[in-house]
Each structure stands twice: as structure tokens, then as C-alpha cells.
């Protein structure tokens, strides 16, 4: 950075005109992509959403080679914030500067955390995705760069909103990363180049599998009112169980496999049809199916099958493949990392017919997505993953909706759908009701294919 002419010139400019520029930026809405105190190129970070993924993203942000520092944290649950605080402060003592008065609790806490940042800094948005558009909107207003976790929307209305907000962020020159980290995998990137150059011919089929036991909070028992007084906070704590909060286990977990198939195909599918079901779940009250099988169709007629399952004592597989007219490719075969990507002649993973195999040692894509974002900020290069992140999220919604409704669902139908799961999510308060309420028996509406037309469930 010291040898970067743009950084040196920016530093000289700031020494002379910091106060004037700050005033102009405030009054006119001009965004200065990376403005920091004179002589200080540190990029400050604020963490909004202190669960496992948010804590992981914040840790990755403090591991880049450039100077970064975590200065604020926000969550609706104090115990989760404190656990994250303790873990991060111990792991990154040299880059951790969150004081006692920079820890914020509540639904407006994200504003307090973002307000501590300057233009050019970064906020990490890692709350359940229902809140993504609300917090993204405020970050844009404040002129700060954003890293947001996937999925970035859970239904059509929130997807449309995110696409529009992405345009606003672009107009302000903000840098926005989306946590589909596999796109930053260097080995998958080489595989993509090889596929686009025709190494396995034209892609005619994709296959993806996320077959695993119960994960996260996808199965939830009824709330114990003695220990969880607030139904809203309880639902947020168990967000994988509620479609309004997360898009359910389908959206939160399957999106990675879906996105990496779409990446290799260099396209997004236009329709989906699917099956799925919910076995006898006893007292569990979540809205998820146990298993999903989705057939996606691309505009050229080629297909992509996704198999998802959350069940005990069943075959586990976490992998993605594409088949071309001349061969096939492994995109991932061991989860997110390492990818262990390779290409083959023919349609079988025959060790004797390997064309190319990625290196055994791979950089971690969770680190690479942060390195790429920070480098774009430092060098003031255009950088926005919002449109791609929104499309990946909406394609995931399309598959989920096809399974839950039993209908053939097109991408256009998803984007233009009117069912918003939590239309007043920006108005929620700690002492207020949740967007979804249980019936007299403590049960929540669950999807029934063929019962409610194009609606996954109907309230009221």
C-alpha cells in the first residue's frame, strides 16, 4: 500500500482538506470510497450479527494482509455478542479494538455500530437474512462498504428490494461482497476457466448434493416460555426453522451448491420443478421439509438436479458435479473447502481418465473473499456482488417454492411474487410480536404441496 500512488495522493489530499471534504460528503451525499484519518490506512470493521458465521467472517476480515481493525459489534442477544467478543479478542488481539461502549444490543443496534464507521470502512451483515435489506439500506445511506452473508433475500419482494439497493450502492461507488465464498476459490476459478475453454465440451447436466443430518437450527422443539420469554428473539435464535427469517434450511444451506453449478454453467436457471416431504417429526415445530429434490432448467434446455436432505442415519454427501458433451468435472467433493476439483474424459470419475486435477494445497476461500474485497477498497476498483448474490438467492427460492407448492415455478414468477414473509421486518422491536405466530396448539404453518397454489404457506 505504501507504494500505491493512489494511496499516497489520497493521504496528501486528506492532510489538507479532511474537514472540508467531510462536510461536502455529509451535505451532498457524495461517497468517498475510502476516506480515513490522515496518515492512517486502517480499514475499520463493524460486525452486525455475532453468531457463528458473523464471528467467522469478522475473523477472516482481520486475517487479511492489509491493516484492518474490528471496532464495533451489534446483536439482539447479549450472550451471543459476548461469546463472539471473547473469541475474537483472544484470536486477534492486535486487530481487536471493541470497547465496552461499542457493543450494542437491540434491533437498532446495527445503526449504532455502522455509525462508528467512516466512508471506506466495512460493515459485516451476518444477521438472519430477513434483516439484510434493512441493514444494507442504512449502510448505503452512511456510505460504508459492505460484506453480507448469503442468502441475501428469502422471497421475491425482498429480492427485488436487494437488486434496487445494489444499484444504489453502485451509484455511490461502494464495494459490496456477498458470502458465496466458493466463487473466490482459486482452484474452482481455474476449473471455471477450463470449462469455459471447452475442456469437457458443452455443459448438459449439473448434479449437486447436500445430504446430511439435522444441521443448525433446522429442527426446533416448542418454545419454553420460562426460558425464552420473547417469541421473536426465540425465532431469531432458531432462524433456520422459520421461512421468514432464513428461507429455511433449504435456502441457507443449499445456496452454495446451487451457486457453484450456476457459476460453471455461466448462467442461472429459468424454472424449477421439485418434490419434497416432511416425515413424522413428532413435536418439532419448524417449517422445513426433511428432503428436497429439484430439477432446474436453463434457457438452453440443459438440466441441473439438486438433492437435499436433513435426516439421521442416512447416506451423507456434500458435492457438486457438471457433465459436458466430452467429459465431466468435479466442482467440489468435500464440502466448501478444499474443493478437490478435477476434470475427466467421459462421464465417470475414472482415475485413468483424469484430464486435470487441482493442487492438493488450496487457499481458503473464506479468506480469499475478504482479500478480494479489501483489495478492491484499497485500490478503489469497482466491486459489487449484489446482483449475482440476489440471483443466486432467488434461484434458491425458486427451487424451495417449487417443492413447497408442488408447482412448476419460473424465475420471473419468483421475482414478481407478492408474498413477503416479513413485510414489517424493519419495524420489529424487542418487546413486539414475531412476523409468524403459533396457533393454539403451538404449531406454525408448514408447506403442503398442492394446497395453497403458488404460496408456500398462508397466514390468516
Do 176 and 199 lie in a common domain?
no
The enclosing domain of 69 has a CATH number of: 3.40.50.720
pLDDT in tens, 184-225: 999 999 999 999 999 999 999 999 999 999 999 999 999 999
Q: How far apart are CA 353 and CA 351, in angstroms?
A: 5
Check whether residue 122 and residue 217 sit in a common domain.
no
Three cell numbers, residue 186:
482459486
Q: What is the pLDDT of residue 370?
A: 98
User: Do 345 and 201 fall into the same domain?
Assistant: yes
Q: Does residue 102 belong to any structural domain of this protein?
A: yes
8 A C-beta contact, residue 449 and residue 406: yes
pLDDT score, position 26: 31
| Rounded distance between C-alpha atoms, residue 23 and residue 122, angstroms | 21
Q: Is residue 206 part of a domain?
A: yes
Asked if residue 201 and residue 144 are part of one domain, the reply reads no
Are residues 303 and 411 both part of a single domain?
yes
Runs of H (alpha helix) within 218-350 = 231-237, 243-246, 248-265
CATH number of 328's domain: 3.30.360.10
- Please report, in tens digits, the pLDDT of each residue of the chain (460 residues total): 333 333 333 333 333 333 333 333 333 333 333 444 444 699 999 999 999 999 999 999 999 999 999 999 999 999 999 999 999 999 999 999 999 999 999 999 999 999 999 999 999 999 999 999 999 999 999 999 999 999 999 999 999 999 999 999 999 999 999 999 999 999 999 999 999 999 999 999 999 999 999 999 999 999 999 999 999 999 999 999 999 999 999 999 999 999 999 999 999 999 999 999 998 888 999 999 999 999 999 999 999 999 999 999 999 999 999 999 999 999 999 899 999 999 999 999 999 999 999 999 999 999 999 999 999 999 999 999 999 999 999 999 999 999 999 999 999 999 999 999 999 999 999 899 999 999 888 899 999 999 999 999 987 6
Q: Are 269 and 262 in contact (CB under 8 A)?
A: yes
- The answer to whether 339 touches 320, Cβ cutoff 8 Å, is no
User: Are 126 and 249 contained in the same domain?
Assistant: no
Residue 33 lies in a domain: no
Please report the pLDDT score of residue 460 as a whole number: 66
Structural domain harbouring 56 = 43-182+380-384
- pLDDT value at residue 345: 97
Q: Is residue 78 included in any domain, yes or no? A: yes
Which residue carries 421461512 as its cell? 243
- For residue 48, the surrounding DSSP H or E stretch is strand 43-48
- The grid cell for 289 is 421439509
What is the spatial distance between Cα 354 and Cα 117, in angstroms, rounded to a whole number? 50
Q: How many domains is the chain built from?
A: 2
- Return d(Cα 221, Cα 234) in angstroms, integer: 11
Instruction: Indicate whether 273 and 252 sit together in one domain.
Output: yes
176 and 54 in a common domain: yes
All cell numbers assigned to 192: 471455471
Q: What is the pLDDT of residues 63-94, one digit of tens each?
A: 999 999 999 999 999 999 999 999 999 999 99
The answer to whether the bond into 424 is cis (omega within 30° of 0) is no
Taking the CB of residue 385, how many other CB atoms lie within 10 A of it? 25
User: Other CB atoms closer than 10 Å to residue 303's CB: what's the count?
Assistant: 14
Do residue 272 and residue 168 come from a single domain? no
Count CB-CB contacts under 10 A for residue 211. Answer: 16
Question: Which of 162, 86, 164, 173 has the alpha carbon at shortest distance from 125?
Answer: 162
Residues 166 and 221 in one domain: no
Q: What are phi and psi of 371, to 5 degrees?
A: -60, -40
The β-bridge relationship of strands 317-324 and 145-148 is unpaired
Strand-pair partners of 306: 208, 294
Answer yes or no: are the C-beta atoms of 271 and 294 closer than 8 Å: no
Same domain, 255 and 269: yes
Q: Please state the length of the chain.
A: 460
What is the C-alpha separation between 190 and 182, in angstroms, rounded?
12
Q: Is residue 370 part of a domain?
A: no
The verdict on residue 32 lying in a domain is no
Element (H, E) at 327: strand 327-332
4, three cell numbers: 500505491
- Residue 429 lies inside a defined structural domain of this protein: no
Asked if the structure places residue 446 within a domain, the reply is no
Residue 222, SS3 per DSSP: coil
Judged by DSSP in three states, 73 sits in strand
- Tens-digit pLDDT profile for residues 351-396: 999 999 999 999 999 999 999 999 999 999 999 999 999 999 999 9
The pLDDT value recorded for residue 302 is: 98
SS3 295: strand
- Residue 260: the pLDDT is 98
Co-location of 175 and 136 in the same domain: yes
Amino acid at each position: 500500500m505504501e507504494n500505491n500512488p493512489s494511496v499516497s495522493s489520497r493521504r496528501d489530499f486528506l492532510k489538507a482538506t479532511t474537514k472540508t471534504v467531510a462536510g461536502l460528503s455529509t451535505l451532498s451525499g457524495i461517497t468517498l470510497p475510502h476516506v480515513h484519518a490522515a496518515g492512517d490506512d486502517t480499514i475499520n470493521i463493524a460486525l452486525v450479527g455475532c453468531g457463528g458465521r458473523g464471528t467467522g467472517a469478522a475473523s477472516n476480515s482481520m486475517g487479511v494482509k492489509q491493516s484492518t481493525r474490528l471496532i464495533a459489534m451489534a446483536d439482539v442477544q447479549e450472550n451471543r455478542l459476548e461469546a463472539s467478543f471473547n473469541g475474537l479478542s483472544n484470536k486477534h488481539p492486535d486487530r481487536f479494538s471493541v470497547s465496552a461502549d461499542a457493543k450494542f444490543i437491540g434491533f437498532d443496534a446495527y445503526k449504532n455500530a455502522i455509525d462508528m464507521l467512516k466512508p471506506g470502512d466495512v460493515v459485516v451483515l451476518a444477521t438472519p437474512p430477513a434483516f439484510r435489506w434493512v441493514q444494507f439500506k442504512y449502510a448505503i445511506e452512511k456510505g460504508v462498504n459492505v460484506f453480507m452473508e448469503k442468502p441475501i433475500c428469502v422471497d421475491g419482494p425482498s429480492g427485488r428490494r436487494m437488486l434496487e439497493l445494489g444499484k444504489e450502492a453502485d451509484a455511490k461507488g461502494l464495494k459490496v461482497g456477498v458470502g458465496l465464498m466458493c466463487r473466490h476459490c482459486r482452484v474452482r476459478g481455474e476449473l471455471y476457466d477450463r470449462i469455459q475453454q471447452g475442456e469437457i465440451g458443452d455443459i448438459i447436466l449439473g448434479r449437486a448434493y447436500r445430504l446430511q443430518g439435522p444441521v443448525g437450527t433446522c429442527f426446533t422443539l416448542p418454545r419454553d416460555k420460562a426460558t425464552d420469554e420473547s417469541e421473536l428473539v426465540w425465532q431469531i435464535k432458531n432462524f433456520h426453522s422459520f421461512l421468514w427469517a432464513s428461507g429455511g434450511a433449504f435456502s441457507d444451506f443449499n445456496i452454495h451448491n446451487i451457486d457453484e453449478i450456476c457459476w460453471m454453467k455461466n448462467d442461472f436457471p429459468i424454472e424449477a420443478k421439485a418434490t419434497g416431504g416432511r416425515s413424522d417429526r413428532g413435536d418439532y415445530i419448524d417449517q422445513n421439509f426433511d428432503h428436497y429434490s429439484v430439477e432446474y432448467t436453463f434457457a438452453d434446455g440443459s438440466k441441473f438436479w439438486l438433492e437435499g436432505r436433513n435426516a439421521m442415519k442416512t447416506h451423507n454427501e456434500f458435492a457438486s458435479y457438471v457433465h459436458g458433451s466430452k467429459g465431466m468435472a468435479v466442482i467440489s467433493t468435500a464440502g466448501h473447502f478444499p474443493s478437490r476439483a478435477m476434470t475427466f474424459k467421459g462421464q465417470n470419475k475414472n482415475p485413468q481418465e483424469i484430464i486435470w486435477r487441482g493442487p492438493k494445497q488450496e487457499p481458503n476461500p473464506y479468506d480469499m473473499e475478504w482479500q478480494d474485497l479489501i483489495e478492491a477498497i484499497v485500490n478503489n476498483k469497482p466491486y459489487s456482488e449484489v446482483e449475482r448474490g440476489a440471483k443466486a438467492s432467488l434461484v434458491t427460492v425458486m427451487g424451495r417454492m417449487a417443492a413447497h407448492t408442488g408447482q412448476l415455478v419460473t424465475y420471473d414468477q419468483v421475482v414478481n411474487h407478492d408474498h413477503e414473509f416479513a413485510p414489517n421486518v424493519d419495524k420489529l422491536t424487542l418487546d413486539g410480536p414475531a412476523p409468524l405466530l403459533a396457533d393454539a396448539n403451538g404449531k406454525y404453518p408448514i408447506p403442503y404441496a398442492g394446497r395453497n397454489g403458488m404460496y408456500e404457506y398462508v397466514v390468516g
